[in-house]
């Protein structure tokens, strides 16, 4: 069969980074593609970065559905179904409100689909596919194949290097979409499997998609020990109580962790209790933030507005807290009752849900009636805090004072996040996102994490399972160092370079292309005129000029 897997497109909110859709792709569809038997032909289409052709005729269409993507997903599904093409829907929204999805699909999956996917394809070929599969949540994550990243258009993203060490979350926050019933249990992969995936991908910077990578401290410590020899850099999500274990924080920093996403959610203790986020202790926030910053880990925080304990003063107090504690970046959100969560059921029972237009359930619109705020106050306060927090004045006020390198990283991150839209548009137009990102993070010994150095100028590689002969693949220990060392010491001219098409692209060339696109070079007469003004003392600013075209 010809199978087409689709990630629906979305419109960015005006508070979001213009390149958010290009940061890193979801692993959902590539995981399904990996679970597809080899006799089938699979394509993956991310409508956020490429054109979606609705006039083709695949045998099967699969669509993943987030709540705010549901209207677009349903429109795509209806288009294919009108031509007799079988459509299957899955994802968190489908799990939360399966009845809603059944109106637009021939088959739906509840829970995680990988273990039932091959059986469904067999049922479909025999003509007896069921309407509902699941709920299923595979317990042995090591048995699942690695996601098919080769099916993605890599040059459309900053990176495709991602991995997950666990699935599910042991906490039960009332508002979180991960608490949708049936709730996925918390499960872990083995460290060996996770490291093998990282080594096989061969990148130097990784993003972990775990809801909370450090919830199991022993697992997190073992992971840090395994990652440290690889020489990679990485980021993840964790809860603020990680700060109580400074030894683990230090181990994460030493193994390459550069940034952590932390859901503070609120500075109001009553709001934290209301949402069942009992592991966040408001009185300890400042001390725990200091521990992370002391270890040079950037904090990407999240705050939510609209809890029943929130009053109009919450916006000013939250921004002041974030600035005083010099948080690297903050994602602000409007409380959103995702269907299937405890919060949604409570607000629906109280008659406070204002709309079921799923496209507005994106944490940027008010879809319920707040208790101590009007919908207009909540919307305006949400927009105001973004403007205030990311103003030039407050960006500079938030620079950390315990090291120039850390301060420079913070400044660069904020400028790139909110002040460089024109550069991101240019990189996207020229398909330079992936190349530029990897040029930035490229460093000696980390271009391929399987490369290490046992003496100056002498490199060796520890083979992955795919490098070993078949008879040795099952018994090889991917964590064992020094086995089957192969001398791969390159000559300077043989060092790998990122490619743009078939031509090697250096960072200097890419930067010159960008600047040349923004402003034409000066003519000879203009340069001579500027030289005369410089001699006369009228020119006080020195500006670098670049050629109008690059050969």
Report pLDDT digits (tens) over 55-91: 999 999 999 999 999 999 999 999 999 999 999 999 9
Tens of pLDDT along 21-54? 899 999 999 999 999 999 999 999 999 999 999 9
Provide the pLDDT for residue 149: 96
Q: How confident is the model at residue 475 (pLDDT cuts 50, 70, 90)?
A: very low
In terms of pLDDT, which residue wins out, 524 or 107?
A: 107
Mean pLDDT of the chain: 83
Token pair in block for residue 244: 């109580």
Look at residues 106, 121, 216, 223 and name the one whose alpha carbon lies nearest to residue 163: 223
Q: How confident is the model at residue 451 (pLDDT cuts 50, 70, 90)?
A: very low
Calculate the alpha carbon distances from 443 to 162, 203, 408 in Å: 19, 11, 18
B/e letters for 368-380, b = 16+ CB within 10 Å, e = fewer, are: bbbeebebebbbe
Cα gap 232→374, rounded to integer Å? 47
Token pair in block for residue 191: 């460290």
Fold annotation for 2-136 = Rossmann fold (3.40.50)
161-418 is a CATH 3.20.20.70 domain: yes
Mean pLDDT over 324-334 rounds to 96
Mean pLDDT over 444-462 rounds to 35
Q: What is the DSSP letter of 211?
A: S
Q: What is the dihedral of CA 96, 97, 102, 108, to 10 degrees?
A: 0
Tens of pLDDT along 83-138? 999 999 999 999 999 999 999 999 999 999 999 999 999 999 999 999 999 999 99
Cα gap 133→89, rounded to integer Å? 11
- Of 23-32, 311-320, 501-510, least confident by mean pLDDT is 501-510
Provide the pLDDT for residue 150: 96
Token pair in block for residue 429: 């137009």
Cα gap 367→354, rounded to integer Å? 5
Cα gap 94→70, rounded to integer Å? 9
What's the start-to-end Cα distance of the chain, in Å?
Answer: 47
Tens of pLDDT along 146-196? 999 999 999 999 999 999 999 999 888 899 988 788 889 999 999 999 999
Number of other CB atoms surrounding residue 141 within 10 Å: 18
Calculate the alpha carbon distances from 239 to 189, 212, 242, 321, 547 in Å: 20, 7, 6, 18, 49
Q: What are the boundaries of each domain within the chain?
A: 2-136, 161-418, 451-495
């Amino acid at each position: 069969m010809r199978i087409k897997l689709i990630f629906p497109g979305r419109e960015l909110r005006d508070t979001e980074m213009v390149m958010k859709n290009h940061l890193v792709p979801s692993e959902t569809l590539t995981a399904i593609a990996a679970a597809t038997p080899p006799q089938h032909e699979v394509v993956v289409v991310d409508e956020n970065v490429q054109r979606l052709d609705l006039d083709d005729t695949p045998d099967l269409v699969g669509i993943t559905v987030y709540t705010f993507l549901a209207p677009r997903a349903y429109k795509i599904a209806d288009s294919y179904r009108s031509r007799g093409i079988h459509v299957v829907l899955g994802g968190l929204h489908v799990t939360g409100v399966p009845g809603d999805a059944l109106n637009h699909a021939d088959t739906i999956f509840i829970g995680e689909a990988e273990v039932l996917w091959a059986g469904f394809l067999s049922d479909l070929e025999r003509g007896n596919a069921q309407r509902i599969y699941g709920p299923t949540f595979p317990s042995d994550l090591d048995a699942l194949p690695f996601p098919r990243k080769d099916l993605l258009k890599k040059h459309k993203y900053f990176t495709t290097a991602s991995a997950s060490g666990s699935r599910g979350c042991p906490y039960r926050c009332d508002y979180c979409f991960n608490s949708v019933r049936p709730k996925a249990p918390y499960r872990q992969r083995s460290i060996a499997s996770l490291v093998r995936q990282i080594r096989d991908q061969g990148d130097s910077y990784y993003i972990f998609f775990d809801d909370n990578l450090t919830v199991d401290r022993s697992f997190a410590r073992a992971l840090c020990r395994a990652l440290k020899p690889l020489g990679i850099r990485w980021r993840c999500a964790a809860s603020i109580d990680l700060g109580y274990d400074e030894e683990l924080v230090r181990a994460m920093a030493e193994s390459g962790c550069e940034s952590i996403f932390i859901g503070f959610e609120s500075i109001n203790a009553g709001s934290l209790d209301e949402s069942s986020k009992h592991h966040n202790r408001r009185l300890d926030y400042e001390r725990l933030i200091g521990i992370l910053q002391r270890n040079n880990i950037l904090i990407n925080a999240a705050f939510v507005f609209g809890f029943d304990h929130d009053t109009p003063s919450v916006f000013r107090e939250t921004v002041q807290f974030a600035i005083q504690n010099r948080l690297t970046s903050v994602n602000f959100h409007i409380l959103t009752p995702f269907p299937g969560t405890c919060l949604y059921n409570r607000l629906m029972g109280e008659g406070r849900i204002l709309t079921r237009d799923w496209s507005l359930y994106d944490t940027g619109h008010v879809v319920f009636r707040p208790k101590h705020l009007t919908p207009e106050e909540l919307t305006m306060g949400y927009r105001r805090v973004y403007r205030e927090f990311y103003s030039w004045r407050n960006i500079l006020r938030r620079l950390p004072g315990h090291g120039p390198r850390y301060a420079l990283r913070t400044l660069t991150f904020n400028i790139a996040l909110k002040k460089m839209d024109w550069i991101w548009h240019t990189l996207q137009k020229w398909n330079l996102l992936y190349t530029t990102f990897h040029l930035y993070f490229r460093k000696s010994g980390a271009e391929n994490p399987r490369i290490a150095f046992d003496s100056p100028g002498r490199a060796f590689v520890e083979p992955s399972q795919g490098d070993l002969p078949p008879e040795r693949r099952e018994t090889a220990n991917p964590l064992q160092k020094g086995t089957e060392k192969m001398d791969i010491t390159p000559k300077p001219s043989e060092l790998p370079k990122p490619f743009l098409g078939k031509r090697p692209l250096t960072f200097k060339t890419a930067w010159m292309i960008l600047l040349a696109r923004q402003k034409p070079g000066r003519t000879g007469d203009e340069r001579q005129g500027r030289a005369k003004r410089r001699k006369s003392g009228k020119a006080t600013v020195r500006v670098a000029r670049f050629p109008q075209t690059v050969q």
